[in-house]
Amino acid sequence: MAHAVSDLGAVAALYARAGFTVGARNRHASAWGTQNQIVQLPGFFVELLAMADVSAIAPHADRYFSFGAFNRDFLARRQGLSMLVLEGYDSAAEAEAFRAVGIGDFELYNFERDAKRPDGTPTKVAFSLAFARDRKAPDIGYFTCKQLYPANFWNPAFQHHANSAVGIAGAVLVADNPGEHHAFLSAFTGERDVRTIATGISVKTPRGEIQVMDPASVARHFGVSPPDTQRGARLTALRFVVRDMAVARLALQSGEIDFAEQSQRLVVGPDIAFGATLVFESAG
């Protein structure tokens, strides 16, 4: 999941105050023009993302999805959750599958960047990305991400969080008509069992649930104002699993972060969390 903001240091500080362990600042290649800091959970990460140097960003082109251009244009309109990422296993096969069902005809994108281990020593990480597109959600970027050197990226030291977060429950999209995204989500996730539920639709993935809710359901479930959907579906919330709700509550209080308690969840709203809604819920 990418959380795009105008001030990387400010959003990293917010996540740290909320009790997350936040990685060091990294810089992507000049063609991307972006920089990031990572919050890791087992098998999942939040990419805190901001622009670095927009002058060299490669534009979108035939069969080329420009990560930098997408996030630059996203940030020209708003801050918030910009991209939904699935764990990749076979990037070439995933790209071909997207092409076959008409949700993406993009070349694979392989890249590497410098990173740092928890003790500060340098290392390399590398990724292979297969992009997809939902034409009814132009403000959401979709791709799968395969770690090429996973041992250099995943580290238990980065996955220990003072708020007791232990995993990801899921991501929430908002759409005026959730059912319109049924076919896309099935094709993107490779899961046939996309369920219709009272609030919209839901699909389970190995790394959590993806829900698409209508705006009224988002407001009712999380007590927040949903993002504008005039241009199509939007990413609105991340649901974190915590081992101990009391510990999570104390972390937010200690970090002086305003939150609400909604349906046995702790909710940090988009006015506080740079356009995103951050939800903390019990592992039970």
Domains of the chain as residue ranges with CATH: 2-158 (3.10.180.10), 161-282 (3.10.180.10)
**pLDDT, tens only, 124-140:** 889 999 999 999 999 99
Residues with Cβ within 8 Å of 138's Cβ and at least 6 positions away in sequence, in order, are 231, 232
- Any residues with CB less than 8 A from the CB of 253 and at least 6 apart, and which? none
- Per-chain mean pLDDT for the chain: 95
Task: For residue 30, name the pLDDT band (cuts at 50, 70, 90).
Answer: confident
pLDDT at 118: 67
- Confidence band for 114, pLDDT divided at 50, 70 and 90: confident
Residue with tokens 């009790």: 19
Residue listed under structure tokens 């244009």: 73
pLDDT band with cut points at 50, 70 and 90 for residue 243: very high
Q: What is the pLDDT of residue 120?
A: 76
- What pTM was computed for the model? 0.95
In whole angstroms, give the CA distance from residue 82 to residue 63. 20
Q: What is the mean pLDDT of residues 163-181?
A: 97
pLDDT digits (tens, 9 = 90+) for 13-26: 999 999 999 999 98
